[in-house]
Structure 1
Amino acid sequence: MRRRWLFADQLGPHFLDDPHQQLLLVESKAVFRRRAFHRQKAHLVLSALRHRVAELGDRALHLRTETYREGLDQVREPIEVIHPTSRRARDLVRSLGQVTVLPPRGFVTSPEDFTGWADDRRGAMRMDDFYRYARRHHRVLLDGNEPAGGRWSLDVDNRQPPPKESPRLDVPPPPVPQEDEIDAEVRRDLDRWEAEGIRFVGRDGPRLFPATRAEAVTRLEHFLRHRLPTFGPYEDAMLAGDPLMAHSLLSSSFNLGLLDPMEAIRGAEATYRDGSAPLSSVEGFVRQLLGWRDFVWHLYWYFDAGYRRSDRLGARKSVPAWFANLDADAVQARCLADVLAGVRDRGWVHHIPRLMVLGNYALQRGWRPSELVDWFHRSFVDGYEWVMAANVVGMSQFADPGQLTTKPYAAAGSYVNKMSDYCGGCRYEPKRRLGEDACPYTAGYWVWLDRTRERLPVNARLSRSLRQLDQLDDLPEVRAQERQRGSQAP
């Protein structure tokens, strides 16, 4: 009988077939030696794996070794493994010889179905096209053969700025996991590893994200009942005093394999059908799971390994140390300081701070997309290479040949001012591009547009900004100002 090897992101019941099957779980210390992960991410991954070992009892062989290969050398039975989620892990599995590799799990659309869809595109692929295909294929949020409510996307209803009357949304906070002796053991081990020279970034802290399926299910049920109704309208908004907003905080649970995305999709659809959540919120949540999450997973394998080195806009600068090390105290720009502090303190911020504060700033400064893929991978509790490759290279940094999106996600300070409460207490003025109080996002936007205009696609979405660029009489001064600022923290 084969022993099934479970990686630390394959921890839910949907990765098992036989209630009596013998299992293997290996902790590789070398994984943490190779790169400096966020301390809370390392804690979450190890805690989740060890909690799963405790649940499985005698069925699980748990090995703690320097490398995966050292651990596998101790196993005498034939091994089978579900398709890993990284190229490095896949190559390791392939190098082992007599290992049976099963199809991937933890996603909705199969590789065969995605490849059939993608091959028919013959060019640029858009998430919205895939999302419509997946909705039809899996019969999600349909009335007959048409989208529920008559529209495939309700994004236009989900772009509200934050409410002005309160520093927080009026939603109950998500359930907080309770640490136990396994967490205490993990923390002791990480302390010892640091003393031995293994480096982490970010701050340690109480575990904020589920490490067991029971914790993840509790958070999912709470989200569907109490937070999903408010999620949609404000999913793109930011509040300095409310970093969680109405988001689910379940991305790490899906990416550890604690939850099957389809159970969350069907659960969300049920809230719409029974009238307990509006369609705009449900559709927005389903779009993130059935659409975007599956889309970037499949693109990771559909594109070749060189995709993460794409550099359409000629971004050649290294990520500066203050950003790489999460030194939020060095930053005066209120939005960037707060978001970077959120990464430092929690290993998590929601998708708009990632895209429009962190990614937008990096795009404007011309930082290497491949370095940013690695930074997001290491610094976020839900970060994995498959997650970040398309998200960072194709979406955030517009570094591919326009394969994923038709316009860059670049914006001046006016966007942050509209969608957040950050600018009111900032030393910089979002309308100013020149001078000591010039917003680094506003100045950076025009200099970036000037620098990359010959590499940008010609389309209606960019033509207005390019016309405005030609009318700026102070552009030489703004260029000189930004050169002087260089890579220093704003």
Structure 2
Amino acid sequence: MTTAHWLFGDQLGPHFLSPGEDGPDRDVPVVIIEARSVFRRRRFHRAKAHLVLSAMRHRAAELGGRVRYVRSETYREGLREAVGDDTVTVHQPTSHAVLRLVESLGTVTVLPARGFLVPRPAFSAWADARGGRPLRQEDFYRWVRREHELLMDADAPAGGRWNLDHDNREPPPRGERTLGAPAPYRPREDDIDERVRHDLDRWEREGTVRFVGRDGPRRFPASRREALAALRRFTEHRLAGFGPHEDAMLAADPVMSHSLLSSSLNLGLLHPLECVERAERAWRAGQAPLNSVEGFVRQIAGWREYVWQLYWHFGDDYRDSNALRHDAPLPDWFLELDADAVTARCLATALAQVRDTGWTHHIPRLMLLGSYALQRGWDPRAVTDWFHRCFVDGYDWVMLPNVVGMSQYADGGRMTTKPYTSGGSYVNRMSDLCKGCAYRPTERSGDRACPYTTGYWAFLHRHRRRLAGNHRTAQAVRGLDRLADLDELLGRNTELGDAPP
């Protein structure tokens, strides 16, 4: 009897079934399990639940009679219903918890991970060769570029520089409400989406599952065909304008020139290599400038790969990192995505984007949502869970390093060299979000003090001893001694408490 192959809901592309080294045969039977316990354990964003279930059911429809699609309470029960006591294969799941589960079943053979550029053993060898030096993203990114010959001219980086970040940090065009980029690809819902929405409505009525956020029309691809169309739309019409303003924010234009491909990559509908190679072809054909293409390649071949590898390299205990000893609970207004309760225009805008779509680009995530949590001293484990649940592209492997290491600096610098937080002046420089706000980005104290400006200095004061010894934050810490209104500032910060700013 042919051994069946189990596909998880983030392993939906053809590369999880293609033949090759350590892979399943092309025509093996396939098992897909829709386990409701996943949605009982966490209060996911409604749009995320819709996207994942729609993608799983679309994949099952593509596979036809080859697939056994089981709806069950748990994965364990579903696998028993699908194959009984027979053995199955599965490519390495993307979380520590699910890997432990499949290894405990006794009937599952775990194959190497797919959907990434760098095999885990290759990363381990690279890390060992560092000889104890920090595992910095820039070094890793250059190694990946060399290994995969991405944006290379012989042994040198294309254009003579590895890093074009300097060209990609422009503020948004002043006086413009939008960037004016061509519209992104938008899928059309079908009968599968209608049935998914019906099931989610029923689960909520029964009280068995609760969601957060709104479920509007599906915005992200749920099939390989849709994902390829989205990739083609981006590379042909939007990639050229991506780079310069990739760190900028506009209230009326949350998407700007971003690719919106992260959910497709993380569902396994796209392979990272096809994304970066298509972008490089656009540059070599003169269809997109190098700084835009390098910025896109860096996000996928650099950052995404780096986060995946660190998730496994640091181990499951990494989620308990809390070097700053932050333990404040997340307030209800944040948990409920209650953007209407928030006065600060930048935070209200970002929270509303999450509420309505389950997505924002990386700067609102890091410098608005994550920065506010860091300044307020919220529990990093709870912050990680919030990002995991509320973003359509959020998975354990994605959010654990991004939030614990990058956003909350809870690992004390294992992943990044400094905490990523700022006062309102940064937000004002990189967005139009301070315009019309009740607060003033330059004011630290008083009724019009910007919560981010107050929070920034209060954060530096609270962690003065640690941050004074960091060469990237020492100068800012010294600035505390020049603040004549420090006591008033700290009092204003305390007044804010857990109330929406």
Does 1:338 pair with 2:361? no
Residue deviations 1:430-472 (CA, integer Å, cap 9, x gap): 0001011100000110011000111226233212211211111
Aligned to 2:22: none
1:357 is displaced (CA, Å) by 0.4
Point out 4+ residue stretches in structure 1 off by more than 4 angstroms: none
Structure 1 residue 195: deviation in Å? 1.1
Mapping 1:180-219, distance limit 5 Å: 180-197=190-207, 198-219=209-230
Residue 123 of structure 1, CA deviation: 4.1
What is the aligned partner in structure 2 of residue 173 from structure 1?
A: 183
**SS class of match (1:487):** coil
- TM-superposition CA deviations, 1:206-258 (whole Å, max 9, x none): 00000001000001001001100000000000000100010000100000000
2:136 maps to a residue whose letter is R
Mapped partners of 1:383, 1:460: distance in 2: 32
Deviates more, 1:311-320 or 1:154-163: 311-320
What residue in structure 1 maps to residue 55 of structure 2? 48
Distance in 1 separating the partners of 2:268 and 2:340:
35
Counterpart contact for 1:124–1:402, Cα < 8 Å:
no
2:392 aligned with 1:386 = no
- Counterpart of 1:238 (choices 249, 259, 267) is 249
SS of match in other structure, 2:270: coil
Structure 1 residue 19: Cα displacement: 3.3
Whether 1:461 and 2:462 are equivalent positions in the alignment is: no
5 Å-filtered alignment, 1:24-173, equals 24-74=31-81, 75-76=83-84, 77-121=86-130, 122-173=132-183
Aligned partner letter, 1:281: S
Q: Distance in 2 between matches of 1:165 and 1:264?
A: 33
Are the counterparts in 1 of residues 324 and 412 from structure 2 also a CA contact under 8 Å? Answer: no
CA distance in 2, matches of 1:388, 1:453: 27
Paired with 2:471 and 2:35, the residues of 1 have a C-alpha distance of 50
State the alpha-carbon separation in 2 of the partners of residues 236 and 271 from structure 1.
22
* C-alpha distance in 2 between matches for 1:231 and 1:86: 31
The question of whether the paired residues in 2 share the 8 Å contact of 1:313 and 1:456 is answered with no
Deviations 1:160-206 (CA, angstroms, capped at 9, x unpaired): 00001321112111121100110000000000111122110001110
**Which residue, out of 277, 281, 290, partners 1:279?**
290
Q: Which moved more, 1:472-481 or 1:212-221?
A: 472-481
What amino acid sits opposite 1:154 in the alignment?
A: L
TM-score (norm 2): 0.97
RMSD between aligned residues? 0.9
Provide the secondary structure at the position in 2 that maps to 1:423: coil
Secondary structure of the 1:107 match is: coil
> What SS does the corresponding residue of 1:41 show, helix, strand or coil?
helix
- Is 2:366 the partner of 1:365? no
Deviation track 1:462-483 (CA, whole Å, cap 9, x = no partner) reads 1221121111121111111111
Q: Equivalent residue of 1:455, what SS?
A: helix
CA shift, 1:312, in A, is 1.2
Whether the 8 Å CA contact 2:467–2:474 is kept in 1: the answer is: no
Consecutive unaligned residues in structure 2, runs of 5 or more: 19-24
CA distance in 1, matches of 2:104, 2:241: 48
Inter-partner Cα distance in structure 2 for 1:15 and 1:457: 48
Q: Which runs of 5+ in 1 are unaligned?
A: none
Amino acid at match of 1:393: V
Are 2:13 and 2:268, in contact at CA under 8 Å, matched by a contact in 1? yes
Structure 2 residue 9 is matched with structure 1 residue 8: yes
* TM-score normalized with structure 1 length: 0.99
1:263 corresponds in structure 2 to 274
Query: How far apart are the structure 1 equivalents of 2:366 and 2:116?
Result: 23
Residue 352 of structure 1 corresponds to: 363
1:242-289 Cα offsets, whole Å, 9 max, x none, are 000100001000000000010001000101111110000000000000
- 398-407 or 362-371, which deviates more: 398-407
Show the counterpart of 1:426: 437
Identity between Structure 1 and Structure 2 (%): 59
Deviation by residue 1:10-33 (Cα, 9 ceiling, x = unmatched): 000000033321100000000000
Contact 2:468–2:478, Cα closer than 8 Å, also in 1: no
What secondary structure, in the 3-state scheme, does the structure 2 residue paired with 1:27 have? strand
Match of 2:451 in 1: 440
Give the Cα–Cα distance (whole angstroms) in 2 for the partners of residues 304 and 379 of structure 1: 23
